[in-house]
């Protein structure tokens, strides 16, 4: 037992050190010369090989096995960690090695082809690759089925432990029943506000000044965080004392940098507020994809797109862009940042229509895995559902089935967590209101009180508990989709004066 613990820890130290390479490479690649890609790619592939060797070494696996057998004598954090590691090792063993290796090799070379096909809107060239991925995933699910996880459940549970079709069907069922007709009503209305706000140019210098302001509002400590720039914004961390986010500045879109930086800071705060007691464990970071997304979307939508936040922090924006915003009022800005629109692109969707984009992907993924849908049929279904739910007709696959990178990377079961994150956020908000006056806290100018609540009830646990446990501890109940639906309907009924 003692020896097993030693091997376990020593290997983790090695894996963590290699993890630092990934972290630094990810950050560095945002400003490295483009010509360096090839050589770096090779070096990173070697690091990945090392990572794979350490994490699948017989000594490491047998240490985990030993610790798993005696898990009752481990402390709570380590027991959770070992159980999870044991499960993922056992899982990998159920997949024939050649098949796994072949599939990984396929995925590894697909990215450049995907980007090319997406840019050209060329579905035909990518179609056979999609079909290969779909076929592999159907076999993968068969290999990993258990008494409780059937078909698509295998993939859903991978990204959000504890969530299966049963729970997601209730979740998306409610979205379909209540939100789809509500959104159709909203989309028939037109908000009246000064649209000049979306037609002007906002110099990057001013945008950066506002990010510096928001950083103080959010409590994103300068001595523990860095804010950089990249094409697609992201958050990355190396422990809770080195948290980095990126922003993309578009001169002609005022809302983009504001809400994407707040979104990433929401992710970052989660990483920063994990309990120091978990420093030397493998249980830092967030509890799951949806839990992480709940924290970014909570800050981005429920806090920063609220009336209270807008009224409190729009004046500072107006001070920076005094010329550009001179005829734009708080109400204009509030309408501009919350306006709902039927659109094709998920990542650009507003808060209200966003879950429909995810609903569509959930329904199609399920058909692909469980009913043998081909890539061509999936594309047809995609276009049909966009028309049925959002009333838009997809003309170019770039705006349709090729828009997201996920499927081209074999990532299935991941999309549902995006919508689930927003729903968790609404449930947390409701629980938070029992303890503090959230609106007053927002109007105080800094989000410290709100952030403290998140730390105490969610962040401090890191990944040492399952999302469902954290949800129960923080809110006193199991997952309940109604908070999310009620929140959206209330907010948009008011905004659209329905
Ligand atoms: Zn996010």
pLDDT of 75 above 90 = yes
CA of 294 to the centre of ligand 1 (A): 8
Residues 343 and 211 in one domain: yes
pLDDT of 48 above 90 = no
pLDDT at 30: 86
H-helix or E-strand spanning residue 244: strand 243-247
The pTM score is 0.94
pLDDT of 39 above 90 = no
CATH code for position 327: 1.10.1370.30
Active site residue 264: yes
pLDDT of 390 above 90 = yes
CA of 340 to the centre of ligand 1 (A): 20
pLDDT tens sequence across 179-202: 999 999 999 999 999 999 999 999
Residues 7 and 154 in one domain: no
pLDDT of 37 above 90 = no
CA of 257 to the centre of ligand 1 (A): 14
Q: Where residue 105 falls among pLDDT bands split at 50, 70, 90?
A: confident
Residues 485 and 368 in one domain: yes
Residues 33 and 141 in one domain: no
- Pairing state between β 225-229 and 235-237: unpaired
pLDDT at 443: 98
Beta strands per DSSP E along 278-415: none
Residues 89 and 122 in one domain: no
The domain boundary residue, chosen from 93, 121, 156 = 93
Segments forming the whole domain that contains residue 87: 1-93
The domain boundary residue, chosen from 60, 93, 126 = 93
Q: Where residue 97 falls among pLDDT bands split at 50, 70, 90?
A: confident
**For range 283-310, the mean pLDDT:** 97
The residue that leads in pLDDT, 320 or 56, is 320
Residues 216 and 81 in one domain: no
Residues 270 and 290 in one domain: yes
CA of 26 to the centre of ligand 1 (A): 16
Q: Where residue 487 falls among pLDDT bands split at 50, 70, 90?
A: very high
The domain boundary residue, chosen from 72, 93, 114 = 93
CA of 297 to the centre of ligand 1 (A): 7
Structure tokens, 409: 């990377």
DSSP for 111-123? HHHHHHHHHHT-H
How far apart are the C-alpha atoms of 230 and 29, rounded to whole Å? 9
Check 158, 160, 264, 351 and give the catalytic one: 264
414 in Cβ contact with 158 (< 8 Å): no
Q: Where residue 260 falls among pLDDT bands split at 50, 70, 90?
A: very high
The residue that leads in pLDDT, 325 or 38, is 325
Residues 82 and 124 in one domain: no
Contacts by residues 155-158 (CB-CB < 8 Å, ≥ 24 positions apart): 155/365, 155/369, 155/412, 155/413, 156/413, 156/416, 157/413, 158/413
Q: How many domains does the chain have?
A: 2
């Amino acid at each position: 037992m003692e020896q097993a613990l030693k091997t376990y820890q020593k290997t983790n130290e090695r894996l963590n050190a290699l993890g630092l390479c990934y972290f630094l490479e990810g950050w560095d690649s945002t400003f490295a010369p483009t010509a360096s890609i090839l050589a770096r790619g090779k070096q990173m592939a070697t690091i990945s090989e090392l990572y794979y060797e350490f994490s699948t070494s017989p000594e490491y696996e047998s240490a985990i096995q030993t610790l798993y057998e005696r898990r009752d004598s481990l402390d709570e954090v380590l027991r959770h960690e070992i159980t999870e590691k044991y499960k993922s090792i056992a899982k990998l063993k159920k997949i024939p090695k050649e098949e796994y290796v072949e599939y990984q090799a396929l995925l590894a070379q697909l990215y450049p082809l995907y980007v090319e096909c997406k840019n050209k809107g060329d579905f035909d060239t990518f179609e056979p690759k999609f079909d290969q991925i779909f076929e592999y995933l159907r076999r993968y699910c068969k290999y990993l089925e258990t008494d409780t996880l059937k078909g698509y459940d295998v993939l859903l549970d991978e990204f959000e432990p504890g969530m299966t079709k049963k729970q997601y069907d209730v979740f998306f069922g409610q979205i379909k029943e209540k939100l789809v007709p509500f959104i159709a009503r909203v989309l028939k209305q037109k908000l009246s506000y000064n649209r000049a706000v979306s037609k002007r140019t906002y110099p990057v210098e001013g945008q950066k000044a506002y990010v510096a302001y928001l950083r103080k509002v959010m409590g994103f400590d300068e001595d523990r965080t860095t804010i950089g720039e990249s094409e697609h914004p992201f958050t990355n961390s190396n422990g809770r004392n080195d948290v980095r986010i990126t922003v993309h500045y578009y001169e002609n879109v005022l809302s983009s940098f504001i809400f994407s930086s707040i979104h990433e800071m929401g992710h970052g705060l989660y990483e920063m507020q994990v309990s120091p007691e978990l420093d030397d464990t493998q249980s830092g970071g967030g509890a799951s994809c949806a839990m992480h997304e709940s924290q970014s979307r909570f800050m981005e939508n429920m806090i920063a797109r609220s009336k209270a936040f807008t009224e409190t922090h729009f004046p500072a924006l107006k001070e920076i862009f005094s010329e550009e915003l001179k005829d734009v009022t708080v109400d204009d800005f509030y309408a501009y940042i919350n306006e709902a629109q039927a659109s094709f692109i998920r990542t650009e969707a507003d808060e209200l229509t966003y879950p429909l984009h995810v609903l569509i992907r959930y329904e199609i993924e399920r058909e692909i895995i469980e009913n043998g849908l081909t890539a061509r049929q999936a594309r047809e279904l995609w276009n049909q559902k966009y028309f049925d739910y959002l009333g838009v007709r997809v003309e170019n696959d770039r705006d349709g089935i090729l828009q997201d990178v996920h499927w081209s990377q074999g990532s299935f079961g991941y999309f549902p967590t995006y919508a689930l994150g927003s729903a968790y956020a609404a449930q947390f908000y409701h629980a938070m209101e029992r303890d503090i006056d959230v609106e007053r806290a927002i109007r105080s100018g800094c989000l410290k009180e709100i952030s403290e609540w998140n730390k105490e009830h969610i962040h401090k646990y890191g990944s040492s508990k399952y999302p469902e446990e954290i949800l129960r501890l923080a809110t006193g109940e199991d997952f309940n989709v109604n908070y999310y639906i009620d929140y959206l309907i209330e907010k948009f009924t008011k905004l659209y004066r329905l």
